[in-house]
Structure 1
Amino acid sequence: MREGLIPTVLGTAVTASGVAMRGKFPMAAAVVTGFGLAHMVLGAIDLVEHRSRKPF
């Protein structure tokens, strides 16, 4: 499995859950969305950084 794929997918799920709870808990939703976006950015950096390596 490519390095950085798990944090990117996890960040997408966390961001989606943060956006989903935006109406009821706006402050918590902002925090959760921020953590999700951070995971997506860091995972994308790992994906780009290690794209030239062969998986095995």
Structure 2
Amino acid sequence: MREGLIPTVLGTAVTATGVALRGKSRYKTAATAAIGFGLAHVVLGAIDLVEHRNQKWG
């Protein structure tokens, strides 16, 4: 499995959860935090994917 793929997928799921919770007024702070953490994971995972794009396994 490519390095960086798991954090990217996990970050996408966390971001989507945060967006879904954002509509409920009771959870706005938690939703904003989840969106931030999710986006951070997406960015860091994407950096890993790009950084290791040209390296061969072995």
Q: CA RMSD in A?
A: 0.8
1:23 is displaced (CA, Å) by: 1.6
Higher normalized helix content (fraction of residues): 2
Contact 1:11 1:39 in 2 (8 A): yes
Structure 1: how far apart are the matches of 2:33 and 2:48?
23
**Count of matched residue positions in the alignment of Structure 1 and Structure 2:** 56
Unpaired segments of 5 or more residues in structure 2? Answer: none
Measure the CA separation in 1 of the matches of 2:16 and 2:48. Answer: 21
Unaligned stretches of 5+ in structure 1?
Answer: none
- The residue aligned with 2:16 is 16
